[in-house]
Chain A
Amino acid sequence: MSSGGNQKVLKLLENYGIVLVLIGIMAFLTWTQPLYFLTAENLSNIIKQNAAPAMLALGMFIVIVTAGIDLSVGSVMALAMVSLAILDKSFGWPWYIVIFVGPLVGIAAGWVNGIGLTWLKLPHPFIMTLGTLNIARGLTNLVTNAAPVSGLQPEVRYAGREVYSLGIFDPPAGIPVSVLVVTVSALSLWFFLNRTNVGRHVYAIGGNPQAARVSGVNVDRVLIYVYMICGCFAGIAGLLLAGRTDSGFPNAGIGSELDAIAAVIIGGASFFGGRGTVGGVIAGVLIIGLMRNGLNLNNVSVFWQQILIGVVIIVAVYIDVLRRRAAVRK
């Protein structure tokens, strides 16, 4: 009985040791910028800046669990953004329809990715999503003529912009609505992956697709759902970003897919599938976000930020490699 308990503690550390890393980084940043880091305004800035990247990372996570990848999330986010902006601004659609356009565009793009992978039997999702990356970006530029569409209805901007000051905080500090969106999305994803059968099948497909198949799991269908979920989250990210910037601009999200992958890997998911937690992904997003914020506060050039993030990715994966080696020896 007690060996089962030890087992559980080890597993807990394995999955959530990253929270300790996060606390360590925050302590370090408080020490270097005591006046500004731990203020309500700075902390709510960090949340606002990382809400859309968090959505992208959550979507990327479920895809990576199946040992796949989705390179198109940045472009799909942009496509969702400009679609809702155009329907709002140029076509004057009412806000209660416009807010769903973002996620719907994302779901459609995800469905295309899923179909390409399963029906067309393309050899690897890298190839399919590389294609949709370009298609989505091209469509984005086409429908906007490469110019941003700005000036959205305030209700449409609500999720991305609104901050609850709750009477305690001075604006612009406060609880951003976007963090509620991210929290609900993260909790839903966690519930799906850990408490439902299809969620467990997602992990099984990542671990051994053949095992899933012979157990009667419809692997193709589950993969299509997975890519649709990823696309949906990218669409929600587009809604949040549109609210934050009051515009749908076609250059949005260039390179964001790489940040999403970085956050997922730093958060402890395995690139080869079958492993990782939602909490780890959020921690990965926060680690990158905190690093960026800390370097901004210290007026460090953005180029150093890029170098540092690259180093952290390599270190994170190396730690994972060491841990796995130690686990096998047991």
Chain B
Amino acid sequence: MSEPLLEGRGVAKYFGAITALQDVNFRVNTGEALGVVGDNGAGKSTLMKVLSGLYTPSEGSLYFDGKPVRFNSPRDARKVGIEMVYQDFALAGNLPIYENIFLGREPGRKIAGLTILDRGLARQMAQDHLDKLKIHVKSIDQNVEELSGGQRQAVAIARATAFDAKVVIMDEPTAALAIKEVGKVLDLINTLKSHGVSVIIISHRMDDIFYACDRVMALYQGTNFAEAPLPQTNRNEVIGWIMGTKGHTEGFAHDKVN
């Protein structure tokens, strides 16, 4: 198999007396969609924060493209191409779409520590980017607060991918969406994959995992529990993993009435 794009070996994270992660091994390949499941407190968010540079691991090491890396801040992770899409989108509703996409990385001329904005360029780049991702909005000048939940999610994903992202981590991407918007976001994930971007999806929704992902891994009480490529598992097994049990087959299905 080709080398994994992003890998963590023996990752542990302690917060004082609390062990959030213990001896976690993780890998995602180029152009792969990985689902990460686990109950509340299993360590999913913590692992993602380690991968995106918000936390540094207490033990263990990270590898990107085969080389060891160390992230001291989210900026370092972004420089390498790891981006995060947050559960509450983390967008500024009072600003237009194109400003949100480039927030913190605005294009323009740098003079004396300030950047003089090139609005024309920013709007052009934003429009091109949204077109590439097949995201449709009325106008990129709309303020984000005027958008629906699904459109905001799309803008958040667009922000994460505006600068040549290689790995995009998504925290519960469809949790806050209406039913008919979920499909669009899942299609967006497929579009990303087709552009060679790796996607990591934390989700509780089995339908999403089984639609969009290539592989799924489960964390339980802060450590690896189970892992399988999608074709080799089923919903009930994965639900069982979340609860800390293995070996569920179709026979134990809760939704089948004999």
Contact = CB atoms under 8 A, between A and B. Distances in A.
A203 B92 CA distance: 8
Nearest to B108: A197
A197 B74 contact: no
The dominant DSSP class at the B interface is loop
Given A196-B117, A203-B92, A204-B95, A8 B103 contact: no
Contact of B90 (A195, A211, A327): A211
A216 B75 CA distance: 7
Contacts of A210: 88, 90
Interface residues of A, number: 27
A3 B139 contact: yes
Contacts of A330: 146
A46 interface: no
A190 to B, nearest CB: 13
Given A195-B117, A196-B114, A200-B95, A208 B90 contact: yes
B117 A215 contact: no
A196 B103 CA distance: 12
Given A3-B139, A7-B139, A214-B86, A275 B94 contact: yes
A203 B117 CA distance: 14
Contacts of B124: none
Interface string A315-330: 0000000000001001
B46 interface: no
Contacts of B94: 203, 206-208, 274-275
A4 B139 CA distance: 6
Interface in B83-99: 84, 86, 88-95, 99
B75 A200 contact: no
Nearest to B115: A197
Contacts of B88: 210
Contacts of A197: 106, 108, 114-115, 117
A208 B93 contact: yes
B105 A216 contact: yes
Contacts of A309: none
A212 interface: yes
Contacts of A211: 89-92, 100, 103
Given A198-B114, A330-B146, A3 B91 contact: no
Interface string B116-141: 11000000000000000000001101
A1 to B, nearest CB: 9
Interface in A170-211: 195-198, 200-201, 203-204, 206-208, 210-211
Instruction: Please provide the 5 A-B residue pairs with the shortest distance between their CB atoms, ordered closest to farther.
Output: A215-B104, A274-B94, A207-B92, A207-B94, A197-B115
9 contacts: A3-B139, A7-B138, A196-B114, A196-B116, A200-B103, A206-B94, A208-B92, A214-B90, A216-B74
